[in-house]
Homo-oligomer: A and B are copies of this chain.
Amino acid sequence: MLNYKIYSAGGFVESAAVLEVRNPFDHSLIATTCLADEVILNKAIIAAQAVRQEMAVLPSYKRFEILRYISDQLKVNRQRLAEVLAAESAKPLRYALAEIDRSAQTFLIAAEEAKRVPKEYMSLDWTPNGTGKEGIVKYFPIGLVAGIAPFNFPMNLAVHKIAPAIASGCPIILKPASSTPLSTLELAKIIDTTELPKGAVSVLPMDRKTGNQLVTDERFALLSFTGSPVVGWEMKKQAGRKKVVLELGGNAGVIVAASADLEKTLQKSIMGAFSYSGQICIHAQRFFVHESLFKAFVEGMKAAAEKLRSGNPLLADTEISSMIDEENAKRVESWIHEAVEQGARLICGGKRQATFVEPTILVNTKDSMKVYAEEVFGPVITIEPYNSIEEAVKLANNTRFGLQCGVFTNLVSELDYCFMHLEVGGVIHNDVPTIRFDQMPYGGIKDSGLGREGVRYAMHDMLEPRILVK
């Protein structure tokens, strides 16, 4: 049986609290690792503090080389890493491979951005007393970063915290999800072979109680959390003096206008709706389709959903597999039942076997149903018709979340209206909201989060300006 040590203070260590990691698809034991206790965590914090200055003065070419090396290693080990990832998360291999590729790309971007940490130079002679004066603004690493990553992109969402931290010169302690710690521990092995100061990065699975120290401990200068809204907002309250970045979820909308190309729209929509069983922050959950296309769209989605190949995530042609655990699968099932009981009509799917939930399409839904109002984080979508673009935007905005929204249209006036009025962090034209490029600013408004990630944007929060007035 494989055993993964955890990565603390520059070394691989063990604790007494063994953690079994199982494949959600067949519940087989993949490997064991352990949970960091307070002693291990404290050592990691002390080690991170100790290398803070060394990290801060690392020349940019060194940060570049380290980050590019990690990027290259991810590519070299692509297949093996994707298999680990697929096994622990039940993410179909094709998507697991894509995630490793994206992680390599994210490290590459960070490598390049390490050389481009912002600097400003400004006139201060806007008033007589500033005559001859100028300002030079340099950005310094903020200090120790606490990162908490979720199960659904166990590699890339951890990378979106680790890579910018290294690029910024900040030590980081990252807590992966307890269900999916293996990819990140594989990454730790790569990081350990670089020239980074020992202790600059620690990867520590923890139980919730120990992990909460990442939130409350004042030695951290920044908490970067990706996960559920309820947990995230509670953390903000407990975070003390540190800065907080929250990447939470949503119930993303998709608008399909009359001028949309139906074939292409269906192709993209099926991916946004059901890839990784909808366990994606920007899962395309609520579709609003112009009434002229409504019937065709619902039929098209039904046909496509029923054709999705389900099964073992480690097989190359699997398109949809299990959810992360039975608890969540049951929750999703119950939400579907609630909706149907309250009047929704089931177009397809709706059934659960163990951790697997069928791709499910609902129409006639209401904004009071959980499948509409909450983040379903499962393979369930709602489709409703609309009449005017103003109505479509109103429907899409009718939620406490605001992450991203897809808009399929070929009219300039409609696209402009959507960009101006959709209350979200991102509007995606002619595609589902389930799109994210790793260099772009990514994050939500309203209950969907606070701040932005995307390498350069994540770095912004890890840096502190200091002006020299001269």
Contact = CB atoms under 8 A, between A and B. Distances in A.
Interface string A404-418: 000001111101000
Interface stretch (A181-189, A326-334, A379-387, A428-436): A428-436
Copy number in this complex?
4
A425 B127 contact: no
Interface in A118-141: 119-128, 130-138
A454 B125 CA distance: 15
Contact of A466 (B64, B105, B425): B425
A116 B123 contact: yes
Contact of A121 (B121, B233, B410): B121
Contacts of A236: 240-241
B428 A123 contact: no
B61 A126 contact: yes
Contacts of A64: 126
A126 B131 contact: no
A69 to B, nearest CB: 14
A300 B61 CA distance: 34
Contact of A123 (B109, B115, B240, B412): B115
B440 A467 contact: yes
Nearest to A132: B59
A419 interface: yes
Interface in A429-466: 429-431, 435, 437, 439-442, 445, 447, 450, 452, 464-466
A126 B447 CA distance: 30
Given A241-B450, A440-B122, A128 B466 contact: no
A378 interface: no
A465 B439 contact: no
A168 B126 CA distance: 15
A426 B469 contact: yes
Nearest to A411: B410
Nearest to A109: B126
A59 B125 contact: yes
Contact of A60 (B125, B422, B426, B447): B125
Contacts of A437: 124, 126-127, 130, 133, 135, 469
B467 A426 contact: yes
A12 B465 CA distance: 40
A427 interface: yes
B123 A119 contact: yes
Given A59-B128, A465-B452, A470 B123 contact: no
Given A415-B412, A465-B425, A120 B121 contact: yes
A466 B123 contact: no
Contacts of A61: 125-128, 130-131
A409 B125 CA distance: 21
A307 interface: no
A441 B449 CA distance: 26
Interface in A49-85: 59-61, 64
Contacts of A428: 469
A468 to B, nearest CB: 5
Interface in A266-302: none
A170 B230 CA distance: 27
Given A123-B116, A125-B59, A441 B467 contact: yes
Contact of A112 (B112, B123, B134): B112
Given A437-B135, A450-B241, A427 B466 contact: yes
Contact of A119 (B121, B425, B466): B121
* Nearest 10 Cβ contacts at the A-B interface: A119-B121, A121-B121, A59-B125, A429-B470, A426-B467, A59-B131, A428-B469, A419-B468, A124-B437, A112-B112
